[in-house]
Amino acid sequence: MEKNHNNEYKVCVTGGAGFIASWLVNKLLQKGYTVHATLRNLDDDSKVGVLKSLQGAEARLVLFKADIYFPEEYENAIKSCQYVFYVATPLFHTEGPDYKYKNTSEATVDAAKSIARFCERSETVKRLIYTASVVAASPLKDDGSGYKDLMDETCWSPFNISVPDITDFHKA
């Protein structure tokens, strides 16, 4: 991201109201970037209010509703952005007739794949930065038959696992 022309760049930050993401939104706004921030609930004044109170938000912050359990909601936030910071991660599993995932791991993996596809489809995104700390963990069951229902210390990825190329990732 070039320092001299920040006002020309749009950056998407998923999970914009989270602790790390809100600091990132703040820094990007301070540096003059236009920020597309996603939140699960645009009616949550406690979260929306914090973001709207940031310096530069009135002119350069655009909020989008997007939920990891409905990854298609991220596409509009990503359109026309040059950079995407994928910071969002679900803390609790949501169940119900409108939800297709068995657990948070399954939802997170599908959302990551969808967001990567939206970045590619946009034809404007130069870089996708995945910052969620769960990236260091492997929620797959030991026999590879699916995802664990809970993330804990047994989920950390062993060093001997091969990481696929990004092109393999979003073709899956």
Q: Is 12 part of any domain? A: yes
Q: What is the pairing mode between strands 34-39 and 61-65?
A: parallel
pLDDT at 166 over 50: no
Q: How many other CB atoms are there within 10 angstroms of residue 38's CB atom?
A: 28
Give the full edge-to-edge strand order of the sheet including 127-130. 61-65, 34-39, 10-13, 83-86, 127-130
Does residue 19 sit within a domain?
yes
Hey, what are 53's tokens? 């109170």
* Residue 22 belongs to a domain: yes
Residue 101: which domain range? 6-135
Q: Evaluate whether residue 159 is within a structural domain.
A: no
pTM of the predicted protein model: 0.74
Q: What pLDDT digit, counting tens, does each position of 29-51 carry?
A: 999 999 999 999 999 999 999 99
pLDDT of residue 136: 55
CATH number for the domain including 44? 3.40.50.720
Domain count across the chain:
1
Q: Let me know if residue 76 belongs to a domain.
A: yes
